[in-house]
């Protein structure tokens, strides 16, 4: 059975062009880029080219890019560096809808005695700039606001946020893992200090990412060791991964327009098709300010997990916001922060597309999904007025 892969915010297929470019670095071109000999030196030049390609996609200088192992490492490095570089400042501002790579880190920081303000969002997942303004203090070390939300695709107004935060001279970090490659980002005009991306969310493999550190920003390394990355991250470089990330960024730069036409058109076709065909369905997130590839829908009175199981039987890969932990189904923290009603929040499904999806795939899902929901609703114990959901059986 062919797989219809609509879970690209979880991870993406490695682009064939990317795979081709990285392959020799697993076999014949195995030199260490730090070596004195030319066999290693040629690998060093390839790393420089990859760095140029990443910088070019973001509109920054190559010297402002350091390679990491993943988005999580980038977020941890950025946030910890900002705090370590300003030991007198103990306050961090972030949002309730961040990825666990940020949220669980700030939870940890609270235990270490830091003060953390979590900004709320409205029903469409939007921040209130006034709440952000009011949260800033003299001892605020860092503001960390994601560029685009992985669950709903909602895009935060980073230019406006950056103006506000930088006018107070406070460091600004953005987790741009979901935004890079999907929407244009220009660090020449966007005054963020620290920005994080991850390879496997933009058609490079897992295990590589990048952190942008604006020139002049005080920086404290997370991995202390060799002089790699000009002393900012020790450890022999993941050469094939970095080559792949460079190529993926080059492809993304060339394909941004397609992302915004082909992918958006398919996403809209899916969204409109499902909303029209299935009653008691709502869109989660900002309808307008949203990634072109993401749609998060809630189907009243059904469980997201049950939908995913039936979709899986049809070969369709999607994702639900809720996580089954300790025997109870917790709706996603993002949907909870948005105040999505209980009977909807449990039945949420995220579809996230890529350049590799086809119209035929979308039409297949639009055709099958109403049957899936109908079947689940026919066996659902819930009726209008029910508020309790049963315990999770997984
Ligand atoms: C996937 C993701 C991350 C984590 O990236 P990894 O490379 O998997 O560590 C961080 N933030 C967001 C918004 C993500 O979607």
**Cβ atoms of 191 and 3 closer than 8 Å:** no
Q: Is 33 in the pocket of ligand 1 (CB under 6 A)?
A: no
Least Cα distance to 223 among 33, 69, 54, 32 occurs for 69
**Cβ atoms of 299 and 281 closer than 8 Å:** yes
- Taking CA atoms only, the protein residue closest to ligand 1 atom 3 is 71
Least Cα distance to 144 among 126, 162, 121 occurs for 162
The answer, yes or no, to whether residue 37 has pLDDT greater than 50, is yes
Q: Ligand 1 pocket check: which of 69, 74, 75, 99 to mutate, most ligand atoms within 8 Å of Cβ?
A: 99
Q: Note the pLDDT of residue 1.
A: 74
**Cβ atoms of 332 and 298 closer than 8 Å:** no
The answer, yes or no, to whether residue 294 has pLDDT greater than 70, is yes
Q: Is 232 in the pocket of ligand 1 (CB under 6 A)?
A: no
Q: Note the pLDDT of residue 382.
A: 65
Q: Note the pLDDT of residue 330.
A: 77
**Domains assigned to the chain:** 4-9+255-378 (3.90.1150.10), 16-252 (3.40.640.10)
Look at strands 348-352 and 294-299 and give their pairing. Answer: antiparallel
Region 231-242: mean pLDDT is 97
Q: Note the pLDDT of residue 258.
A: 82
Q: Note the pLDDT of residue 383.
A: 53
Region 302-313: mean pLDDT is 95
Q: Is 146 in the pocket of ligand 1 (CB under 6 A)?
A: yes
The answer, yes or no, to whether residue 227 has pLDDT greater than 50, is yes
Both tokens of 177, joined, read: 């893992």
Between the CA of 178 and the centroid of ligand 1 the distance, in Å, is 8
Q: What is the mean pLDDT of the chain?
A: 94
Please report which confidence band the pLDDT of residue 385 belongs to, taking 50, 70 and 90 as the band edges: low
Q: What is the pLDDT of residues 241-278, one digit of tens each?
A: 999 999 999 999 999 998 889 999 999 999 999 999 99
Q: Give the separation between CA 275 and CA 369, rounded to whole angstroms.
A: 11
Between the CA of 99 and the centroid of ligand 1 the distance, in Å, is 7
Q: Is 317 a catalytic residue?
A: no
Q: Is 72 in the pocket of ligand 1 (CB under 6 A)?
A: yes
The answer, yes or no, to whether residue 45 has pLDDT greater than 60, is yes
């Amino acid at each position: 059975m062919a797989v219809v892969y609509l879970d690209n915010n979880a991870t993406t297929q490695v682009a064939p062009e990317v795979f081709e470019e990285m392959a020799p670095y697993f076999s014949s071109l195995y030199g260490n880029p730090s070596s004195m000999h030319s066999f290693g030196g040629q690998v060093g030049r390839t790393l420089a080219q990859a760095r140029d390609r990443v910088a070019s996609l973001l509109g920054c200088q190559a010297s402002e890019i350091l390679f990491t192992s993943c988005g999580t490492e980038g977020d941890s490095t950025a946030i910890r560096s900002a705090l370590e570089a300003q030991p007198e400042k103990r306050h961090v501002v972030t949002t309730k809808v961040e990825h666990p790579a940020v949220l669980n880190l700030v939870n940890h920081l609270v235990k270490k005695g830091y003060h953390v303000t979590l900004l709320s969002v409205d029903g469409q997942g939007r921040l209130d700039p006034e709440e952000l303004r009011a949260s800033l203090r003299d001892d605020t070390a860092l503001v960390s606001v994601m560029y685009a939300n992985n669950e709903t695709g909602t895009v935060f107004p980073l230019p406006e946020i950056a103006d506000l935060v930088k006018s107070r001279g406070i460091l600004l970090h953005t987790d741009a893992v979901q935004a890079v490659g999907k929407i244009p980002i220009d660090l020449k005009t966007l005054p963020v200090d620290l920005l994080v991306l991850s390879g496997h969310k933009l058609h490079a493999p897992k295990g590589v990412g990048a952190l942008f550190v604006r020139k002049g920003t005080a920086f404290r390394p997370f991995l202390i060791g060799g002089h790699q990355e000009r002393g900012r991250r020790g450890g022999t470089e993941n050469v094939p991964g970095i080559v792949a990330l460079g190529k993926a960024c080059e492809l993304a730069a060339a394909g941004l327009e397609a992302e915004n036409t082909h992918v958006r058109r398919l996403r809209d076709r899916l969204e409109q098709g499902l909303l029209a065909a299935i009653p008691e369905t709502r869109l989660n997130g900002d309808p307008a300010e949203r990634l072109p590839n993401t749609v998060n829908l809630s189907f009243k009175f059904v469980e997201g997990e049950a939908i995913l199981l039936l979709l899986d039987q049809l070969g369709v890969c999607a994702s639900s916001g809720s996580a089954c932990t300790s025997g109870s189904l917790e709706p996603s923290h993002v949907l909870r922060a948005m105040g999505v009603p209980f009977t909807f929040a449990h039945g949420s499904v995220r579809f996230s597309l890529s350049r590799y999806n086809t119209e035929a795939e979308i039409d297949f899902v639009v055709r099958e999904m109403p049957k899936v929901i109908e079947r689940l609703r026919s066996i659902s114990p819930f009726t209008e007025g029910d508020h309790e959901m049963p315990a999770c059986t997984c």
